[in-house]
Structure 1
């Protein structure tokens, strides 16, 4: 049986904006059906609550501390193994359709004499993926890398210097004025482009074309949608599906602003936080955000029906997830980046088609899962051997198949705010702009270098509105979690060239290699040789 992998990722999709995760208004019947068909992991967390570092952890199976790409467009250094490096030797064609947010280590490639445009250099520069279709999303000035989608729009006759911006990402007034989707006041208007030509259907079509192109060769396709990430604008009919009456009240309290942690207070001052603290912004933007999600859901339905019709669903491991969440005004914040659940917790659905997974089909599991668990899951599915000295996550297949395995007791996430305005507000040295979250299923501890920690008890405060980081009554919990963080930090994170098994085989091997060290006389030497050890 072919061992295919369909790795679907949305950008900035909150864990709680699906029907199957409890949202009372949003319509996501196809994603809900996917959860019924597979297994939903209810407590899945990213390794960093921002696009680039999070994705580099997904693609390497390693913590941010380990791979070193700590913020958007900080290059992933040459030498870091990615999904393609692990799967290609197993005969799996590994390709990207959509967004990766990869920044290539051009200096490293040049230092090694590798051309980033050809051969091995191109694969390294593309995070180990064969690029089937690029759809990163663009800034208004077209400042990001070229997009296949832009070429597609030009081929359809949509002109202008930046057709993605002018057509897919803009609305139009009654008198023909182009209205930028970057301005949130226009979020309630439909995009100028007809829905079939918009980004999400385009990516879905291109994904299906890749699967057909792959033929009988096993494949891993990363279908990476750029939505519902901002700019918050969606074509008809999705722009009008939801209104202010479907916008849930923000999860926030005045107590959060009365004596906030210094880092949180600095984030309150960011422009996007001030914007999303206004009800008029939330009532304009969130219906568009929900429309973008329902559009994705319809495309998931289209794709799943096609996989069923062609028989490919029977031999394909399907994953549906997101790279992080979106505050949408909760906790007086916008964007993502900090560690409340709406930012750092993600939806995760895994469909294992094998009969061994029938016992968890339709189940909701509460194990603490990390984004880095997907890479070893894919290697396991493809028949590879575990490589825990490289892949720091753990395969999810034993959980899917109800096997009796011990599991982790905490999840870890990291964030570097050195490029944000918060650093200047706090006058922090760049090296100290680091946050680390440790969550054990109840207590969420955030270490903030140079400041007191934050602490939340999700049992008594599931809304995460009471910071206990300065409360003397909880000093023991803070100390316990701080030590767990330190233990994690002290572990090997960069010994990737030699496995534990290889080290074990080398132990007591001096005599086999001809070294005679520390012996008093020939008798001791002969005795050691007889025992097959050096006697150290």
Structure 2
């Protein structure tokens, strides 16, 4: 039987909003069942805490500073290899159902003569995925997002005549007088969406994933099922809209000490409009209820999808990855949205189910290994029997951990953030070139290098909630120096030499190959050259 991969990604799902991760009021039995069948990686981190760059790292297996797509709508440059580029030579159909947040390198494609509607051009423009159904779900009536006309048609066939049913039906509610209220506004989050459950985005894209699997037949496939929820607009259909009253919510994770002389960048993000909105308890309560309802809806769809795989007899041949592109502060640390590196933002759920017999010993376990989003591509490539390409892919396959053969992959994880497009940069008076942050976490110490400012430092052993920034305390200067040295070591990696591997350089050698090619500089006489060539023929002693 052919092997398959189901690569499931939620958008803005926090690591701790699953019952298997300990959430006190949210039951996610179907996602929990995946964890029981595989391994839940408890310390998984994204390479950037914002959609676009995080996803480009997921799809390339490369750090943000390597692939260069540092913020939403900054194109992934032509030539960056993606998951589909690695899998297609292996005969694997690699397709997308849902969101990528990909911005195509239109100028690069034009320079190379790649038409967007050509076979190659479409793949380059869609992160290497065959776009079976792309649905970014963001501002679909503007140039910012990509309108899913299939979903529009689906809604119209159900009788919705709205010009933009994504906005006015799936992501809006009604008041008692029948007035349509947009789900974009946070205080409308407690309304039920006008769309019925089966009409809304999450069940729709699940059904489209099933359509793809049905169509793929016996061809090996890798399907990226990418939900656009629980990302805002925070609004959900009945019966999910009122399932989670305040007593089911996790308490807000913030402390007054965080506002006492905060790091300048942290303080500037506290002043963002969305951060201030989440300090209002009424608003936050409405959003949390909807956020939990959106996750519950996803979990129910996981039940539908897994039942479908079982009915098709695909359970034993399908590797499943369940994850998220980043988290959501939801008012924690006096912040809204994501973007900085506290665990509510940069730490993600990651569950991997490997159907191989070699993975039986680790089923249902929780790994505390430090893993990164870039590990997903090499894991999938490994599953399909592809060769390792460490000069291109910077992540590491998780299969040794899944098979109980290894305890750790790395000593630290890294996440990067370019805030040059945010109002924060202007508020701080920082240049575009200097608006960058890099987080390094070694399992205890979380260090954030902030260009032009002092570092941030958190000791998660003594301060697991990350309330106390020690970066400005002279008593921790030695620790900062140690972590800065690790950061400097990481920045010196070779990440752009992707056209030739270390192994190939080693094979070619560096000495007499040039002489054999006629470049004989350094030899005083022809006799010296002949002697060197003769000596090189002899096996080493």
Q: TM-score, normalised by structure 2?
A: 0.97
Cα deviation digits, residues 114-140 of structure 1 (max 9, x gap): 111212111101111101112111327
Contact 1:511 1:533 in 2 (8 A): no
- Paired position in structure 2 for 1:189: 191
- Alpha carbons of 1:153 and 1:454: their partners in 2 closer, same or farther (altered >3 Å)? same
- Paired position in structure 1 for 2:209: 207
Residue 142 of structure 1 and its aligned partner are, at CA, apart by 4.2
Contact 2:401 2:408 in 1 (8 A): no
Residue 505 of structure 1 and its aligned partner are, at CA, apart by 1.3
Residue 533 of structure 1 and its aligned partner are, at CA, apart by 7.5
Query: Residues of 1 paired with 2:122 and 2:357: CA distance?
Result: 38
- Paired position in structure 1 for 2:17: 17
Cα deviation digits, residues 378-397 of structure 1 (max 9, x gap): 11111100000000000001
Pair 1:531-2:535 in alignment: yes
Residue 511 of structure 1 and its aligned partner are, at CA, apart by 3.2
Contact 1:368 1:408 in 2 (8 A): yes
* Equivalent residues in 2 for 1:38-57, closer than 5 Å: 38-57=38-57
Contact 2:137 2:147 in 1 (8 A): no
- Paired position in structure 2 for 1:516: 520
Query: Residues of 1 paired with 2:82 and 2:458: CA distance?
Result: 34
Pair 1:355-2:372 in alignment: no
* Equivalent residues in 2 for 1:305-320, closer than 5 Å: 305-320=307-322
Query: Residues of 2 paired with 1:406 and 1:230: CA distance?
Result: 35
Query: Residues of 2 paired with 1:146 and 1:285: CA distance?
Result: 25
* Equivalent residues in 2 for 1:290-369, closer than 5 Å: 290-369=292-371
- Paired position in structure 1 for 2:158: 156
Residue 141 of structure 1 and its aligned partner are, at CA, apart by 4.2
Cα deviation digits, residues 178-198 of structure 1 (max 9, x gap): 010011111111100110111
- Paired position in structure 1 for 2:456: 454
Cα deviation digits, residues 385-437 of structure 1 (max 9, x gap): 00000000000011100114762100000001111110111010000000000
User: Secondary structure at the residue paired with 1:231?
Assistant: coil
Query: Residues of 2 paired with 1:510 and 1:183: CA distance?
Result: 67
- Paired position in structure 1 for 2:490: 488
Contact 1:189 1:239 in 2 (8 A): yes
| Equivalent in 262, 265, 283 of residue 264 of structure 2 | 262
Residue 532 of structure 1 and its aligned partner are, at CA, apart by 2.2
Contact 1:171 1:189 in 2 (8 A): yes
In structure 2, stretches of 5+ residues that fail to align are none
- Alpha carbons of 1:337 and 1:244: their partners in 2 closer, same or farther (altered >3 Å)? same
Superposed structure 1 runs of 4+ greater than 3 Å apart: 140-143
Residue 516 of structure 1 and its aligned partner are, at CA, apart by 2.0
User: Secondary structure at the residue paired with 1:84?
Assistant: helix
Residue 514 of structure 1 and its aligned partner are, at CA, apart by 3.3
Query: Residues of 1 paired with 2:387 and 2:311: CA distance?
Result: 32
Q: TM-score, normalised by structure 1?
A: 0.98
Residue 292 of structure 1 and its aligned partner are, at CA, apart by 0.3
| Equivalent in 478, 481, 484 of residue 480 of structure 2 | 478
In structure 1, stretches of 5+ residues that fail to align are none
Cα deviation digits, residues 141-194 of structure 1 (max 9, x gap): 444212032232123221222111011000012222101001111111110011
Query: Residues of 1 paired with 2:257 and 2:138: CA distance?
Result: 38
- Alpha carbons of 1:533 and 1:267: their partners in 2 closer, same or farther (altered >3 Å)? farther
- Paired position in structure 2 for 1:109: 109
Residue 44 of structure 1 and its aligned partner are, at CA, apart by 0.2
- Paired position in structure 2 for 1:384: 386
Deviates more, 1:122-131 or 1:500-509: 500-509
Query: Residues of 1 paired with 2:407 and 2:336: CA distance?
Result: 39
Contact 1:190 1:239 in 2 (8 A): yes
Contact 1:48 1:64 in 2 (8 A): yes
- Paired position in structure 1 for 2:286: 284
Contact 1:435 1:448 in 2 (8 A): yes
Deviates more, 1:116-125 or 1:463-472: 116-125
Contact 2:369 2:407 in 1 (8 A): no
Query: Residues of 2 paired with 1:489 and 1:354: CA distance?
Result: 36
- Paired position in structure 2 for 1:95: 95
- Paired position in structure 2 for 1:409: 411
User: Secondary structure at the residue paired with 2:440?
Assistant: strand
Cα deviation digits, residues 60-83 of structure 1 (max 9, x gap): 000000000000010000110111
- Paired position in structure 1 for 2:433: 431
Query: Residues of 2 paired with 1:407 and 1:207: CA distance?
Result: 32
- Alpha carbons of 1:423 and 1:306: their partners in 2 closer, same or farther (altered >3 Å)? same
* Equivalent residues in 2 for 1:50-65, closer than 5 Å: 50-65=50-65
Residue 321 of structure 1 and its aligned partner are, at CA, apart by 0.2
Contact 2:67 2:76 in 1 (8 A): yes
Query: Residues of 2 paired with 1:158 and 1:117: CA distance?
Result: 30
Contact 2:141 2:147 in 1 (8 A): no
* Equivalent residues in 2 for 1:55-94, closer than 5 Å: 55-94=55-94
Residue 526 of structure 1 and its aligned partner are, at CA, apart by 2.1
- Paired position in structure 1 for 2:237: 235
Contact 1:98 1:223 in 2 (8 A): yes
- Paired position in structure 2 for 1:216: 218
Query: Residues of 2 paired with 1:231 and 1:517: CA distance?
Result: 67
- Paired position in structure 2 for 1:146: 147
Query: Residues of 1 paired with 2:171 and 2:325: CA distance?
Result: 21
User: Secondary structure at the residue paired with 2:194?
Assistant: coil
Alignment size in residue pairs: 534
Query: Residues of 2 paired with 1:63 and 1:259: CA distance?
Result: 32
Contact 1:142 1:162 in 2 (8 A): no
